[in-house]
Amino acid sequence: MSVVIVGTLDTKGEEIGFARDIIQAQGIAVHLVDVGVMGDPEIEPDTTADEVAQAGGSSLEALRDDGDRGAAMEVMGDGAAAIVTRFHEAGTLDGILGLGGSGNTSIATNAMRALPVGVPKLMVSTMASGDTEPYVGATDIAMLYSVADIEGLNQLSRTVIANAALSMVGMVANDPGVELSDKPTIGITMFGVTTPCVQAARQVLEDSGYETIVFHATGTGGRAMENLIREGIIDGVLDVTTTEWADELVGGVLSAGPDRLDAAAETGIPQVVAPGALDMVNFGPRESVPEQFENRTFHVHNPQVTLMRTTPEENAELGRIIAEKLNDATGPTALALPLGGVSMLDEPGADFHDPDADEALFDAFRAHLDDGVELIESDAAINDEAFARRIVEKLETYMHGEGENK
């Protein structure tokens, strides 16, 4: 077993050495990767800072001469990612640990994000009590707040670092006994307002012998699914909830970025897509909604989440964007339209019921989809069991090699 520690040994050598010694005392090998740029390492690294810089496309001398700290961190982050990926592929990395402030947190977590889901990843950071999304992204990085700055060893820092070191030992030295399935795996996207559809679909799929992984469509959830598709973990997609595109277009807080829907299209795995929750854009507390939207229709989901109804114009653009994404698919692809409503809030009598906005969305899909994408129209609402069964049936035909192939 081997743990890789990524750290700036020119400033955090004492603290990193303390973590190394605890891990080694438990019989686990440690490999130190130095990502410090400006000074000489306080303890001996196993991979030097210059080797990291070269793996990132530069050299330690060039980074020092340039003096641009931001550029140096980017190079060292890329270099560390390349190095730990190489270690993992060679079977010499069982877990990765990082210790530091904002700079090393950026570098070390960049390396961690390059590793597959399931590899133990732990970052002890002064930044772990704030917004960790830029560091964690859509991966399984565990963040531990250092409480005090990681600057010298004292009763507090020793305790926190020791806990982190022993946590890493526990993760790499013990077999969790997780059963690996050889069943084909289906990725499904869900929001609270599409939950009944997903629950019904998941039950049918699992009864048919599939394993399912459900992703909460909160931006990071969509990105996580895209990553796992590219890693080959997901064999087919029931993309019920494409709401993240509404946030990307309008400026909500749960965007998954402009690459959402690309992975399945590029890899060619079977996919059935629905416009789930495209009736809404997500914001934080009601008072956080930008002033430009004050005249819109809102639904306060809870004190921390405010939903805003999309307009006919926005829906028309969403239909165009998603249709063009699906047109690029290299594998069997269908788009299923629930004409009775795209979410719980879009059904007759609910806050976001807006037939004009829905029709703008559906018309845009009809206008922009190529013939290579199957279009399924149902009078049901998205959460009707009949709709769930219909989209599962279509996906299963694709999974069995039947139906349309692009």
Whether 178 is in a domain gets the answer no
Tens-place pLDDT, residues 161-187: 999 999 999 999 988 777 767 899 999
> Residue 233, class by beta-carbon neighbours within 10 Å (0-12 exposed, 13-18 middle, 19+ buried)?
middle
Residue 328 sits in a domain of what CATH number? 3.40.50.12030
End of a domain among 173, 197, 225?
173
- Count of domains for the chain: 2
Q: What's the pLDDT tens digit per position in 360-402?
A: 999 999 999 999 999 999 999 999 999 999 999 999 999 998 7
**pLDDT score recorded for residue 406:** 52
Output the pLDDT for position 57.
95
Q: Among 127, 142, 173, give the residue marking a domain's end.
A: 173
Q: What is the pLDDT of residue 181?
A: 73
End-of-domain residue from the set 173, 200, 224 = 173
pLDDT digits (tens, 9 = 90+) for 272-298: 999 999 999 999 999 999 999 999 999
Q: Note whether residue 226 is domain-resident.
A: yes
Return the SS3 of 363. Answer: helix
Are 239 and 160 part of one and the same domain? no
* 279 and 352 belong to one structural domain: yes
- Is there a single domain that holds both residue 195 and residue 51? no
The Cα angle at residue 374 between residues 373 and 378, in degrees rounded to 5: 135
d(CA 81, CA 228): 18
Q: DSSP assignment of 305-318, as one string?
A: EEEEEPPHHHHHHH
Whether residues 260 and 394 share a domain: the answer is yes
Residue 62: exposure state from Cβ atoms within 10 A (0-12, 13-18, ≥19): middle
Tell me whether residue 404 is in a domain: no
Collapsing DSSP to helix, strand or coil, 375 comes out as strand
**pLDDT of amino acid 403:** 60
Q: What is the pLDDT of residue 326?
A: 98
Q: What domain range is 214 assigned to? A: 185-399
168 and 200 in one domain?
no
Q: Where are the beta strands (DSSP E) in 8-148?
A: 29-34, 95-100, 121-125, 142-145
Kindly state whether residue 179 falls inside one of the protein's structural domains: no
CATH of the domain at 41: 3.40.50.12020
| Phi, psi for residue 66 in degrees, rounded to 5 | -70, -40
C-beta of residue 165 within 8 angstroms of C-beta of residue 5: no
The ranges of the chain with pLDDT < 50 are none
- On whether both 143 and 237 belong to a single domain, the answer is no
What pLDDT is stored for residue 182 in this prediction? 82
What's residue 145's pLDDT?
96
